[in-house]
């Protein structure tokens, strides 16, 4: 959410941003509604003041024994009360209309954000690693999963419907291992781990900028005011809602959680295997800091570097992309996507995302801090997917496969995999019960 005064002063520029992001909202209509609301508020306040003055006059007249004159004033106050009640109803309607429009206004974008219409217009910033091009026929992650009896999609569909799956045996170990590797990395960076709710109220989704525009991507629990989160960013940010916090040093939070997305509108897109599923797990990093563009930019680079280090530990080729305006969400000021090489696709696929949101979420959520002068200000917030699984299993299996179907385990993962160096088809793999 943006400050309304700022919106009034930057109406044309903000409409341009809305158009670039593909947001169907009229900034002019919002400004008009806001002016209407403020006029009604002024009338209401004037009538309230007049009512209070007349009430005081009634008391004075009664004390002076002027009963008849007091009754005349009471009649005027009754008329004022009727007029005031009508205006207050109109003001309430105007405030709701204004707020509904305000919730659809996008965040501004950074000066170095590329202008574009879709992910095809994202700009590559750098690459790391060399894509796999072996001299044998590669298996995709589904074939490898079946070969090792670690991925079972047919039974997932039988049980829960399309885009569901079972992980089994070594698949579960890998799924858990990459999450723990990511969490341990963040712990070394000073992040505080939280176990978070994955069911939240509408207010939490709205305050973090996922509603109202993202409701079709979210699973609702019956008719209740509760939703399944698509990222632990929601409960992590909401942890401090309506609080004044200390950001002398940035507040760094991490969570490992299950996530759920309905993927409405993605029919026919990336439907093969584990790329786009309804249930997955993420290790999320969230930072709250002072309202400083310079500091938040440094932190954006930091959280992106954390994700890059994870991919380097997994020995996977990747590239970092500057996300364009048309591929951004409503709440985002600046965003990087990290895409990892997926041999079966013959291309890079998105596995990580980093965002600087400025005070967009904090303003909605009421998260503030006191600056050096003691003035209350809204925090800036940032977020990054340290790792998401099972999507990360796609490049992990495919890039490290060998000609006989065996899968080499990167050195950094071996401590989480009972010391295993390779997964061999049809071999009895030792299972650490503590990991299961």
CATH number at residue 70: 1.10.287.40
172/60 same-domain check: no
Q: How far, in whole angstroms, is CA 382 from its chain's centroid? A: 9
Which of 232, 308, 391, 398 is catalytic? The answer is 391
Could you tell me which residues come within 8 angstroms of residue 152 by beta carbon, excluding any fewer than 6 positions away?
Answer: 145, 146, 165, 166, 167, 168
Residue 340 lies in a domain: yes
- DSSP one-letter code for 216: G
Question: Of 67, 102, 137, which residue sits at a domain end?
Answer: 102
The count of domains in the chain is 2
Residue 114 lies in a domain: no
Range scoring the smallest mean pLDDT among 62-66, 109-113, 189-193? 62-66
40/170 same-domain check: no
For residue 263, name the pLDDT band (cuts at 50, 70, 90): confident
* More confidently predicted of 298 and 67: 298
Mean pLDDT calculated for residue range 8-36: 97
Instruction: List the end-to-end C-alpha distance of the chain, in Å, as a whole number.
Output: 42
Dihedral over alpha carbons 344, 346, 351, 356 (to 10 degrees): -170
> Positive or negative CA dihedral for 387, 389, 394, 398?
positive
**353 in active site:** yes
What is the Cα gyration radius of the chain? 28
Query: How many residues belong to the chain?
Result: 436
Q: Are 394 and 344 in contact (CB under 8 A)?
A: yes
> Positive or negative CA dihedral for 430, 391, 386, 287?
negative
Q: Are 61 and 70 in contact (CB under 8 A)?
A: yes
314/181 same-domain check: yes
Which of 233, 263, 339, 350 is catalytic? The answer is 350
Q: Hey, what are 367's tokens?
A: 């998260």
Question: Of 102, 127, 160, which residue sits at a domain end?
Answer: 102
Which of 353, 355, 365, 389 is catalytic? The answer is 353
**391 in active site:** yes
Is the confidence at residue 195, as pLDDT, over 80?
A: yes
Return the CATH number at 124.
Answer: 3.30.930.10
193/290 same-domain check: yes
Is the confidence at residue 409, as pLDDT, over 70?
A: yes
Domain span at 196: 119-423
156/277 same-domain check: yes
Question: Of 32, 67, 102, which residue sits at a domain end?
Answer: 102
Is the confidence at residue 219, as pLDDT, over 70?
A: yes
Residue 185 lies in a domain: yes
Q: For the whole model, what pTM was predicted?
A: 0.92
Mean pLDDT calculated for residue range 386-415: 97
Which of 54, 276, 377, 414 is catalytic? The answer is 276
Please tell me the predicted confidence (pLDDT) of residue 225: 96
* More confidently predicted of 157 and 430: 157
Q: Hey, what are 431's tokens?
A: 């299972």
For residue 436, name the pLDDT band (cuts at 50, 70, 90): very low
98/171 same-domain check: no
**364 in active site:** no
CA distances from 393 to 25, 43, 138, 141 (A): 39, 62, 15, 8
What tens digit of pLDDT does each residue of 120-162 get?
999 999 999 999 888 999 999 999 999 999 999 999 999 999 9
Please tell me the predicted confidence (pLDDT) of residue 77: 86
Please tell me the predicted confidence (pLDDT) of residue 433: 46
**38 in active site:** no
360/312 same-domain check: yes
* More confidently predicted of 431 and 206: 206
| CA–CA distance, 124 with 338 (Å, rounded to integer) | 10
Is the confidence at residue 434, as pLDDT, over 50?
A: no
Please tell me the predicted confidence (pLDDT) of residue 114: 98
For residue 265, name the pLDDT band (cuts at 50, 70, 90): low
What tens digit of pLDDT does each residue of 152-188 get?
999 999 999 999 999 999 999 999 999 999 999 999 9
Q: Average per-residue pLDDT in the chain? A: 94
Residue 110 lies in a domain: no
Residue 436 lies in a domain: no
**428 in active site:** no
239/316 same-domain check: yes
Mean pLDDT calculated for residue range 207-226: 95
Residue 435 lies in a domain: no
Please tell me the predicted confidence (pLDDT) of residue 435: 43
152/237 same-domain check: yes
Could you tell me which residues come within 8 angstroms of residue 299 by beta carbon, excluding any fewer than 6 positions away?
Answer: 250, 287, 289, 356, 382
* Residue 175 burial by Cβ neighbours in a 10 Å radius (0-12, 13-18, 19+): buried
Q: Are 261 and 164 in contact (CB under 8 A)?
A: no
| CA–CA distance, 219 with 163 (Å, rounded to integer) | 15
CB atoms within 10 A of CB 348: 20
For residue 214, name the pLDDT band (cuts at 50, 70, 90): very high
- DSSP one-letter code for 401: B
Mean pLDDT calculated for residue range 205-218: 96
78/209 same-domain check: no
131/205 same-domain check: yes
82/136 same-domain check: no
Residue 29 lies in a domain: yes
Please tell me the predicted confidence (pLDDT) of residue 252: 98
Which of 139, 176, 261, 364 is catalytic? The answer is 261
Question: 3-state DSSP call for residue 414?
Answer: helix
Residue 431 lies in a domain: no
CB atoms within 10 A of CB 55: 14
């Amino acid at each position: 959410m943006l400050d309304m005064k700022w919106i009034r002063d930057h109406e044309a520029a903000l409409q341009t941003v809305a158009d670039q992001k593909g947001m169907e909202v009229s900034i002019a209509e919002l400004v008009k509604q806001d002016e209407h609301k403020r006029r009604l508020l002024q009338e209401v306040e004037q009538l309230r003041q007049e009512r209070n003055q007349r009430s005081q006059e009634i008391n004075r007249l009664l004390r002076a024994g002027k009963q008849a004159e007091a009754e005349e004033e009471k009649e005027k106050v009754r008329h004022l009360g009727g007029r005031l009640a009508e205006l207050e109803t109109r003001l309430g309607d105007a405030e709701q209309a204004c707020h509904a429009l305000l919730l659809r206004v996008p965040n501004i974008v950074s000066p170095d954000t590329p202008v574009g219409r879709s992910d095809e217009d994202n700009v590559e910033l750098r690459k790391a690693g060399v894509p796999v091009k072996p001299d044998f026929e590669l298996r995709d992650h589904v074939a490898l999963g079946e070969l090792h009896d670690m991925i079972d999609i047919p039974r997932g569909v039988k049980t829960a419907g399309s885009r569901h799956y079972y992980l089994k045996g070594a698949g579960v170990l890998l799924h858990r291992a990459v999450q723990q590797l990511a969490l341990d990395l963040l712990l070394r960076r000073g992040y505080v781990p939280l176990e978070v709710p994955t069911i939240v109220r509408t207010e939490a989704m709205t305050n973090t900028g996922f509603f109202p525009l993202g409701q079709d991507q979210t699973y609702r629990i019956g008719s209740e005011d509760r939703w399944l989160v698509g990222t632990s960013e929601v409960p992590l940010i909401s942890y401090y809602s309506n609080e004044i916090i200390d950001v002398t040093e940035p507040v760094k939070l991490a969570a490992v959680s299950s996530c759920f997305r309905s993927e409405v509108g993605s029919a026919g897109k990336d439907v093969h295997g584990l790329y786009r599923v309804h249930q997955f797990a993420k290790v999320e990093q969230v930072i709250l800091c002072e309202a400083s563009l310079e500091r938040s930019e440094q932190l954006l680079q930091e959280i992106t570097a954390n994700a890059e280090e994870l991919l380097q530990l997994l020995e996977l080729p990747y590239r970092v992309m500057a996300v364009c305006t048309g591929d951004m969400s409503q709440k985002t000021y600046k965003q990087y996507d990290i895409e990892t090489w997926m041999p079966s696709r013959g291309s890079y696929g998105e596995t990580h995302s980093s965002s600087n949101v400025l005070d967009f979420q904090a303003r909605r959520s009421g998260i503030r801090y006191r600056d050096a002068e003691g003035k209350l200000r809204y925090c800036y917030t940032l977020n990054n997917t340290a790792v998401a699984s099972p999507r990360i299993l796609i490049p992990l299996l495919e890039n490290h496969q060998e000609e006989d179907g065996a899968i080499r385990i990167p050195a950094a993962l071996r401590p989480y995999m009972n010391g295993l160096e390779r997964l061999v088809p049809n071999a009895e793999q030792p299972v650490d019960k503590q990991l299961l």
